[in-house]
Amino acid sequence: MIIVMGYITLHSSDVPGFIADMQHFAITTRVEDGCIFFSAGPEAGSTGRILVTERWRDQSALTAHLEAPATEAFIKTWASRMKGDILKFDAANERGLME
């Protein structure tokens, strides 16, 4: 499993438009093959700091997502207005929280 987590930072005036676009983008992403979880939302109000959390079955699924037309369109729209600090992690030892 691949876990993607980090922050996107954008100007506070861009937050409402970004959130509206992200809500639509999330709907299409969540039905992609290999998407286990996808969420992005403001960390605190409209400060411009957006927490991104994703889980993907494997690298192939994540790569397909990153190359999908919807992803490319979303990035094209927002790339010049956002800064990303997002990392991916391999999760090889998944278990319950209390185990």
Query: Structurally, how many domains does the chain consist of?
Result: 1
Range of the domain at 59: 2-90
> Tens digits of per-residue pLDDT, 54-66?
999 999 999 999 9
C-beta atoms surrounding 97 within 10 Å: 4
Mean pLDDT value across the chain:
94
**What is the token pair recorded at 51?**
């927490």
Residue 18 located in a structural domain: yes
> Tens digits of per-residue pLDDT, 14-35?
999 999 999 999 999 999 999 9
- Nearest-angstrom CA–CA distance, 11 and 35: 29
Residue 96 located in a structural domain: no
Given a contact cutoff of 8 angstroms between Cβ atoms, the answer to whether 51 and 41 are in contact is: yes
Residue 99, pLDDT > 90, answer no
Residue 68 located in a structural domain: yes
Q: Please tell me the predicted confidence (pLDDT) of residue 46.
A: 64
Residue 51 is part of a domain; what is its CATH number? Answer: 3.30.70.100
